[in-house]
Amino acid sequence: MSVRFGAHSVRVLGDVCLGGRFVGHHCGRIGLHTLAYGADVEVVVDELPDVYIAHVPLAGVRGGAVDGVDVRAQGAIAGPGQRMAVGWGSGAATLVVCIPRDVVEGALGMRLGEASGPRVRFDPALRTGAGVGGEWAELIRRFAEFAGAELLDRSPLAVGHFEQLVVQGLLDVQPHSFSEVLASGGVAVAPRALRRALAFCEEHADEPITLADLAEAAHTSVRSLQEAYRTQLGTTPMAHLRQVRLRRAHEELRRIARGDGEGSVTDVALRWGFGHLGRFSAQYRDAFGELPSQTLRAIR
């Protein structure tokens, strides 16, 4: 575990044996694990390497400190160079989210219109209670439940979106050293930048594109790009990307129906990043006036 979470020590409180568990749910651009010790312990993490560690409690965590600052029992987050101490009860369990420094700073940089963002320092008391912070924590719990599903094995695009939702959501809901900068907006985007974003959507629609990716391709900030889509196209960047993917799915289903390819509606939906098949069918029907299955039958 020291390889994943940094060097740390565990002090057992009382004359008992540890009966813990460590479950790796996901290991990709980010890592997600369940950790429990099965005894009353105090855990001290030395200076973290180039990684951000967030503890989302499931039960029994008593709180602790990051760099000497007390945090509530509802969760804690620390980043590169910081130290963390956490108290655990015998029935305690937590979800541990590991996000490499370059992933966090890359996401911030794209939103600032830069190639890479600066070092981020989060408020160490993770907001996992009510409101959007609680929604982010619930997203982490759902990710842990969903991580072993066959759907994620079949759709790397869906995995990429889930990972980006975790990182971008963290930047939005957890206060950090650049929260005010992100909230301040950006300069007006030039039409040429919008054209670059549109071309990027067409060329990379089968990849896990994020809003930050579009801003990077357009050489502008996320806020400016959103404003350009709103004022010049009457939509949002991700809504436009969804329409591009629906059109590609429509074209592929027609090719399959003509005998120029193979696959089912499910295969096509997953290939173009639609992990929720019911929602895909509804959006497809809104766009083309028929269900995906009807496209196949009509041409045949």
How high is the pLDDT of residue 118? 73
The 3-state DSSP class for residue 42 equals strand
> 80 with 50: CB under 8 angstroms?
yes
The answer to whether the Cα torsion of 93, 97, 181, 47 is positive or negative is positive
Residue in the structure block whose two tokens are 């009509």: 298
- As a whole number of Å, the end-to-end CA separation of the chain is 55
How high is the pLDDT of residue 99? 96
The answer to whether the Cα torsion of 146, 147, 148, 151 is positive or negative is positive
Count CB neighbours of 125 within 10 A: 20
How high is the pLDDT of residue 244? 93
d(CA 202, CA 251): 14
Which residues have CB under 8 Å from 138's CB, separation 6+?
none
CA–centroid distance for 9 within its chain: 29
d(CA 209, CA 269): 16
- pTM tops 0.75, yes or no: no
d(CA 197, CA 79): 32
* pLDDT one-digit tens code per residue, 204-215: 999 999 999 999
How high is the pLDDT of residue 138? 92
Radius of gyration of the chain (CA): 22
The answer to whether the Cα torsion of 276, 96, 210, 136 is positive or negative is positive
How high is the pLDDT of residue 95? 93
How high is the pLDDT of residue 213? 93
pLDDT < 70 positions in the chain: 1-6, 73, 113-117, 184-190, 298-300
How high is the pLDDT of residue 64? 81
* pLDDT one-digit tens code per residue, 19-67: 788 899 998 899 999 998 888 888 888 889 999 999 998 887 777 888 7
How high is the pLDDT of residue 279? 93
